[in-house]
Chains A and B, each alone.
Chain A
Amino acid sequence: MQTDKRTSSKSPTRVLTVVQALREAVREEMRRDERVFVLGEDIRIGGSFLFTLGLLDEYGPERVLNTPISEAGFVGLAIGAAIQGLRPIIDFQYGDFIFTAFDQIIQQCTKLRYMSGGQVSIPLVFQLPTGASGRGAQHANSVETVFFGLPGLKIVTPATPYDAKGLFKSAVRDDNPVLFCVHKHLYGSKGRQLAASSISRGHVPDDEYLVPLGKGDIKKRGSDITVVANGLMLHRSLNVAEALESEGLSAEVIDPRCLVPFDADLVIDSVIKTSRLVIVEEGNERGGWGAQLAAEIAGAAIGYLDAPILRVASPNVPIPFSPVLENAVIPDESRIRNAILEVMDH
């Protein structure tokens, strides 16, 4: 198996960033399956987060299509191509731009299979940089939240290099449309800020592996409280949990990895053990996936809870530009810590 030229191969601990892991994943899947191709804006130079860096050289313009700025057009085109047997991957410069293709996703991509009585399937991966990164409101959407309630899509929010690679390969092999949402501070692309945590870089095996869609992962085991967080918020929650460990509080940190399907059983089992739950997400609080999870836990395990479920999320405002304001809106480590302590004090 060929590896990314920018990383050392066959090393016992091959430490990669998320974007390096994703570049390996897409190469391996294109090599494995002739039907897989990638399209998007400026992908010949790597796209915005360098996900496709070097891909054109390896696979040529027939399978690495540089598109016009025409999101509704090329999303629709990818849907049609998928219906007729290809397996497209659409690379979005910013996930925020997907909204100009809203009808194609909400009305076409997710419904054509259902409306036709199962006559068609649409294997299609959307590579979507998500979340706030100092660019003002129109480049700061938590894209995954907007689509969370929509039947017919799968939604993946990987947070580590290992998970990103394994989940991406599973997404490409899935016969459904998959939104693959990676936080802009987690790629680790050159020139981009990378979240500071113990897992934002990490070991990725040489040998091929898959991470199944719909299975969560316990990133830190603990016994006093359960913290569920994804994307950038997972890293912040883990930092808080590691700090609290030295203060004698044992928090279990769960990464759902996929929002749809959601591994609620993993959270239920953890809550039965800890009796306390905090849910952390970056998107606006109203209508977030955390609300759905809180309702599910209340329905399935309320008798095990010793304290109210607390959610940490952005208030219901667009994301402001000024770094002071953006930091005030997006959940930071002190807000997460305070929520955990509040639940513990209950």
Chain B
Amino acid sequence: MIPEVGHFAVILALCVALAQAFFSLVGATRGYVNWMAVSRPAAYLLFFLTTFGFCCLVISFLTNDFSVLNVASNSNSQLPWPYRLAASWGSHEGSLLLWVLMLSGWMAAVARFSKGVPNDMLSLILGVMALVAIGFYSFLLLTSNPFDRLLPPAMDGRDLNPLLQDPGMVIHPPMLYMGYVGFSVVFAFAIAALISGRLDTTWARWSRPWTTIAWAFLTIGIALGSWWAYYELGWGGWWFWDPVENASFMPWLCGTALMHSLLVTEKRGSFKVWTVLLAIITFSLSLLGTFLVRSGVLTSVHAFATDPERGVFILGFLVFVVGASLVLFAWRAPKVGLGGRFDLVSRESALLANNVLLVVAAASVLLGTLYPLFLDALGLGKISVGPPYFDAVFIPIMAPAMFLMGIGPISRWKKSSVPDLALKLKWAFVVSIVSSLLLPFTMGTWSLLVSFGLLMAVWIALAGIVNLWTRLKQMSRGEGRTFWNSVASLPNSYYGMLCAHWGVAVFIVGVTLVNGYEVEKDVKMSLGNTVTIGNYTIRLDALKDLEGPNYTGVEGSMAILVDGKEVDRMFPQKRLYTVQQMAMTEAAIDTGFTRDLYISLGEPLSDGSWVVRVYLKPYVDWIWGGAFLMALGGILAVSDRRYRKASQPENGTEGVTASS
């Protein structure tokens, strides 16, 4: 009964979306106030119905209702309940329901938190989002109903893929989808601005916080996915340039460009056309990602079970949404006026260059990801494009962007002078060069790549400090404030920017050092054997059998010794998930600020010993730490008081002069 109710709620949701799209769009374009009044309550209703439907699916999973096909295929009575919960979005169907839940959630949030937006604009925005929603709800109902019954019911379920039975995987998809779907908000703002012809700086100001928060979610989602790969796949890799990873990375790159471009549009009125186009592209890439993951056109480790029929549906939808937006763009954009004037050396130029680099980087990732498909479609043979290509292409494109990250925030709007910039940044520059040349020696061997990576990281970090310092000095000197008063009066958005940029620096340190100095040992270990890696000696003390809820396995007990003294114990496991008969390596990881000790149990050998892999991964956690700092920066920026109290009179001036 519950699944049918849930199914019915989702059907109702589709009807609501249809009505909402019709009344909002027609109402807004014709100026019917009564019609426009529908859009806000409709968004709430849509969110309510979808939440209701989603809860029905969750209940089916939690209560082990194996008469539901989705539950029978992706869950099991022995599965612990948090994973049963996560299993509700573990399949294609369930994840699609999560997707529409997020979409309706964003719509409700837009309806709730857009007080300053005029009614007709809000109607347009929600109408556009409702159009997107119609596509996804029909996709769900027509091709991928998560509530389908299984007759006769299964005795027990086929269990969730063991790879997904992990805390990281419980929250990774919701975060990622919040990001993907969140970009639909700025997309809707852009389309609404194009339709209404009001492509001024206001729309940029309204949509900026939405973009930033979606971007922060996406950042966390990607970081969680990478972290999961690191500890779950058992060999400590964290990024593989797999098509599915690229599918999430491309919108991230474009979203990053979009945030910066929105900044210029809001503050200076420039780049209006470019910003609108970026908003469209970013969301299009989110949709493209959905298509790539669910259609089976590319081979990936992470793809869902695919079905060409679904592929046709999403592609049709993609063509409709993106095609229509780009037609609208080509029609409306030429009428948009130019913005404020600026010089070749100015913050605008630096941000433009950064935008260009980010978008070219995203385009290169797209090219590499789709190239095998292009060749195949043209009948020119099959090739693979993997990490060697992406590393070779991506890093040189991003390096100048990293360099600009130091210069952009400190340069002035409109017109900056090279000597002035040089004066401000000369120490940061000298120190970063010297330290990047010397620092690798402290780690052991010197290598060009490590030195180069550190150069960028130190440069970004120091330029941020110089920026903060100059700003504080200006304030205490020019406005006669005390130091702490100046610190407190700088807006959150400014600190957010610094935090995100430092996050990039931290990230680069992690990537550089772990690539440069990782140590790996594959050994044959018997009880009592030790293996020495770096300063650590690892001793295998015991092996015991493991009896989990839905798996059996072996757990090693390892003592970690430093200078002969035991400092820690680690317990790597090898599990066999009984339902799917799948072996999983549960690595034991000792996380540290400067290094991870990573032990993974391989295969048993005929003489009773075990293959054991140990890694010493210096600074690897800085990779995810950096990503979380970036996301934190985004959240800080959104928490800026000008978004909360838009009515304060001094806000406007500060917005332009200080908080950028």
- Report whether chain A binds chain B: no
B residues lining the A interface (CB < 8 Å): none
